[in-house]
Amino acid sequence: MGAVLIALTFLGYFSASVAYVAALYEKRWRKWGLVSALLGLVAQSSWLVQKTALLGSFPDGTLYDWIATFTWFSVIIFIIIQLVRPQLPLGGFLLPITTMIWLGSQALSRRLVVPPHFHGELLRIHIGTAVFAYVAFLLAAVFSIMYTEKERELKRKRVRLFYYELPSLEIMDAMSTRLIVAGVVFYAITLVSGMVRAKQLFNVYWSWSAQEVWSTLVWLAYVCYLVLRLRGWRGHKAAIYSMSVFLLVIVNLFVVGVFFHGFHFYNV
């Protein structure tokens, strides 16, 4: 049953990605994109419910589970935005990235778990705020991609149909910044709660593990973005920076998270 739900999740998200990219040029594909995204979301939600029932708690013990939660929450936020702003062509930019992240997670091991005695309120805060932060960073990168696309169309002076449906450059620039501010706050809580939990479990706040160091670098990189904004960075420079820094998030997930475990994951 789990394999069927995973297959349906992929079918839904992949179909939604294709439909929303097509909708950038032909609006009638939007409804099919929304239907497909809902299909994928229902399938993934069913998988999460099934796994929660099997484990007796929400699945958060593996990197695979964490990325599943991250993509699941990203799609929920997207659908909410789509229902509120149906004309915003967000799906053609967001869903392909989300689908690729989820697809990449299928190659990850399911055998690395957080021991049951590690769980607690601080760990839930640590995991939950990390999901919120990464979703904020993802959306900021997507708005930056949309910004650069509209800017490129302006420079070429040959605009395409979806150009007129994108928000103004100023709005997308501001949205990206607001999302990064939210992400920085949530990620700060993630780091602090992780340090406090490590102190409780291992009697040390900081172990210099690759995961800790890289996560801190990600947070500092986004803090630098905000500092540069205060120093006058706007528009194109800020958009390129936002997209580039999100690559650090991807590295944190699929390189550091896989090959350098530290205190985060333990073999059963």
* pLDDT digits 0-9 by tens, 39-70: 999 999 999 999 888 877 777 767 888 888 99
Helix 210-230 and helix 235-251, axial crossing angle in degrees, nearest 10? 170
- Alpha carbons 191 and 252: distance in angstroms, whole number: 14
Q: Based on DSSP, count helices (H) and strands (E) in the chain, helices before strands.
A: 9, 2
- Alpha carbons 230 and 134: distance in angstroms, whole number: 23
**260, two tokens:** 């350098």
- Alpha carbons 114 and 112: distance in angstroms, whole number: 7
- Alpha carbons 150 and 171: distance in angstroms, whole number: 12
Q: Identify whether the C-beta of residue 108 lies closer than 8 Å to the C-beta of residue 99.
A: no
**198, two tokens:** 């490590």
**pLDDT tens across the length of the chain (268 residues):** 678 999 999 999 999 999 999 998 888 899 999 999 999 999 999 999 998 888 777 777 678 888 889 999 999 999 999 989 888 889 999 999 999 999 888 887 665 545 555 666 777 888 889 999 999 999 999 999 999 988 888 887 776 666 778 888 999 999 999 999 999 999 999 999 888 877 777 777 777 778 888 899 999 999 999 999 998 888 889 999 999 999 999 998 888 777 765 555 443 3
